[in-house]
Chains A and B, each alone.
Chain A
Amino acid sequence: MTFDPSVHAGFPVQAPGAGGLHAAWYEANAAAGCLTAQQCADCGAWRQPARHRCAACLSPQWAFRPVSSTATITSWTTTHRPFHFGFADVVPYSIVIAEVAEGVRFLLHVRPATAALTGGDPAAIVGTSVAVGVDEFGLPFAVIGSA
């Protein structure tokens, strides 16, 4: 992906520039209007991020299917210092790892950025439920406190 600051300025509105299976995942999210994950067509195992084969049964047959729209935070970070100038206007912002009922985990930025989890006590943050949405580009995001 080419990091295009004109796109990333104004985060969290940005278009992923992914390729291959990852691009297909964003397209599937956008088409479904909700978060999806890869599911093996043979054994039913879920996986994320997208892979060519099922690690459980080695099947190459799969489809992106909607998953639960609520997720549970397993960890997070809140970024205060932008590591790229494209994010200078939105710090601090949070990124969480959250697990859905299907048992797969996603990296998700928190919208709006002003809802960042700052000064966090791990015990107060881990286990928190979030709602997961996707934007018009199929980019998923988490919303705190509305799950």
Chain B
Amino acid sequence: MRGSDRLPVELMLDAAIEALDDAGLTPADLDGICAPPGFTSAEELAVNLGVADLPFSATTAVGGASSVAGIRNAAMAVASGVASTVLVVVGWNGYSWMRPRDGVPTPRHGLAMSSAQDVVTDVMVPQGAVGATQFYAPVANRYRFERGITELDAAAFAMTMRRHAARHPLALMRDKPMSLDGYLASPMLSEPFRMFDCCLETDAAAAVIVTDRARRAERRSTAVSILGAGEGRPNPPDDVAGRADLLNIGLDGAAKRAYAMAGVSPDQLDVVGIYDCFTYIAMLQAESLGIVGHGEAGAAARDGAFDLGGSIPVNTHGGLLSQGHMWGMNHVIEMTRQLRGEAGERQVRDATLSAVTGWGDFGDGTVVILEAQS
């Protein structure tokens, strides 16, 4: 939504309780919490959920990649026996924090510092690069240069996300179709990013439960299995300009490791969630994930490969670009619904295998591979 009058932690508690209920569990079942890198803490979440003793908590500060990193941390804890039921939650007032209103509380703690912080403030801001749009734009322009991706490719990707959003009841852009003319008329912010290349500002929270209890507990919903997960960083992770290869992203290593762990290959995926903070960056990730070859994401978008009914549907909920910005946890939830067969008019037929990527800070990458339970 836009215009929340509640704190991020309140939204997160709502999402946590709904996720527990969906899993047929209660807060008493929780023995782990993966809090987001900002706006709250595992401790604050625990005390508000009545968790009297918390054996496990973990937060990996990789910006937008943190949601999938949290799921990976939770899965490692469950697989190792450190915990059995872990809450992974994110939330923020991504729209309202820039637009303070009288009488509306603001969180006392913002985003946690990430590894990128010193280079941003000391080296990038003095050059006039003050926001994510500017940090990633040189990556996108290099992507255009090396792999021939065009503005029309980006437009096709943005319009694909918008078509998906039209089928999701909670999508911010559900009733706002996008035409090519509309895309081209959207203002240029920082080349090559137009406004419609950029994700939405959103007030929202989302939560997932990672557990080994779902197999034995009576539960409301069908679980999906985590087959593999990966994390990776570009070199150096805290600076874009210093990289020898601007197109080397964290997902390159993360995807390789996740596929190896899962024992699957990209051509087996039925539907995927890609962290679409920006059109070009999402297409670069599609290539890194291997669902299309290098330089092929633009043609794939134009040919409808990422559409419902296409060869590999991407972000059937509309993604960060057209549903809303929930740090990519909305992608995890949508892919879970796809694998459960609960996506309604958005359902990809016989969807059994999916991957979800995360992208954060300066290209840190995460990925989780999910499988339907038969």
Contact = CB atoms under 8 A, between A and B. Distances in A.
A104 interface: yes
User: Which of A14, A83, A106, A118 counts the most chain B CB atoms within 10 A?
Assistant: A83
Interface string B49-63: 000000000000000
A109 B191 contact: no
B242 A105 contact: yes
B130 interface: yes
A122 B144 contact: yes
B128 A74 contact: no
B4 interface: no
B152 to A, nearest CB: 14
Contact of B128 (A47, A76, A95, A118): A95
Contacts of B243: 105
B28 interface: no
Contacts of A118: 191
A80 interface: yes
User: Which of A11, A96, A105 counts the most chain B CB atoms within 10 A?
Assistant: A105
Interface residues of A, number: 45
A80 B138 contact: no
B102 interface: no
A14 B134 CA distance: 18
Nearest to A12: B128
B134 A18 contact: no
Contacts of B124: 107
B125 interface: yes
A18 B123 contact: yes
Contacts of A125: 141
Interface in A83-140: 83-84, 87, 90, 93, 95-97, 104-109, 118-120, 122-123, 125-126, 139
Interface of A: 1, 3, 11-12, 14, 16-20, 22-23, 47-49, 74-81, 83-84, 87, 90, 93, 95-97, 104-109, 118-120, 122-123, 125-126, 139
